[in-house]
Structures are given as structure tokens and as C-alpha cells.
Amino acid sequence: MTPLKYEAFFITPENFLVPVKRNHIDVICDHPEIFGFTIDHVKDIFHKYDEPLKSELQARKELLKEIFEKGFIRLRFKTKEDSYWEIELLSLDCEKQKEQISAWAKKMISDKSFGADENMPVRVIENGKCLNELGNLTLLELSKLKSIVELKILDIQ
């Protein structure tokens, strides 16, 4: 398999695709304004749990919950036993987020620089639970969902 250009993203409520170079919590801590946070708010959450900034423990969970409630989507490529994309969001009841996911899948397939295979499996995590009723979708199947959304890449180097 061709290496992927990015193995993680956020999708913002404003239709920006934010590539994640290391891990999601780094982006939240380094660019809190993207998520409607201040650096003081982020630091306060870590201080509340007596955790170092950027640790992947309770503070991270709280911050992710806050951004999901604001309409953000987290995406990451998993390569443990099998390889698949994982999409995490608060609820799939929102039509806009379904369209954003479809637009992301279309972008992953159409932009060859991303290195994605249209047959890559995708799993959806809604409010912390895997949605088994969706079965194992692929990028291609997701890309065929109705979508008029166009995602713009937000380069945060």
C-alpha cells in the first residue's frame, strides 16, 4: 500500500479539513483558536486533571467531547490488526456532518496526493460507540453519499 500523505484530520463546522501531522491533541493545544478555545482554557482543563499539556488522558477526553459538541469530526487511520479509517463524531443525525464525511471521502479518493485507496474500510464512532449497523463501509461507498459540501484544506504548519 502507498503511504498516506496524512493519517489523521479534523473537519471543522466551517468545512475546513485540518491535516494532523502528529496527533489530534497537539493540534488542539497548538491551535486552540481553530476550536473556539483559548490557550488558557486548554491549560485549565489539563490543570484540572493534573496532567501535562498534550497528554492523552482525561483532559484530552474532555476537550474532544467539547469539540464534538461544537460539530467537529475527528478522522484517523488505524493500522493495528487491520487497516481502516475511523471517523469519530457526536452524532450522525446531522445531515451536514454526513455531507462533510462524504466530501472528505471524495477528496481522499480524487486527490491522488493523499495516497488513499477507495476500498479502504471506514468505521464510524458516534458518541463513543462503534456504529455496527452501518457495517464496514469503504471510502468509495461514503463518497457516493449526497454532498454539496466542499472541504477546504486548512494548512496549520
* Each residue's pLDDT tens digit, 93-147: 788 998 999 999 999 999 888 888 899 989 888 876 666 545 568 999 989 988 8
| Domain count for the chain | 1
pTM: 0.90
* pLDDT at residue 91, as a whole number: 84
In-domain check, residue 1: no
| Per-residue model confidence (pLDDT) at position 6 | 85
Does residue 2 lie in a domain region? no
- Would residue 90 count as lying in a domain? yes
% residues pLDDT > 70 (the chain) = 92
**Nearest one of 70, 62, 61 to 91, comparing CA atoms:** 70
Q: Which domain holds residue 107?
A: 8-153
| 39 domain residue, yes or no | yes
DSSP letter string, the chain: -PPPS-SEEEE-TTSEEEE-SS-HHHHHHH-GGGGT--HHHHHHHHHHTT--TT-SSHHHHHHHHHHHHTT-EEEEEEESSSEEEEEEES-TT-HHHHHHHHHHHHHHHH-GGG---TT-EEEEEETTEE-GGG-SEEHHHHHTS------EE----
Over the stretch 102-117, which tens digit does the pLDDT of each residue have?
999 999 999 888 888 8
Mean pLDDT of the region 55-77: 96
**Residue 104, burial from CB neighbour count under 10 angstroms (0-12, 13-18, 19+):** buried
Residue 64 domain flag: yes
Q: Is residue 101 part of a domain?
A: yes
Number of residues that make up the chain = 157
Q: Is residue 69 part of a domain?
A: yes
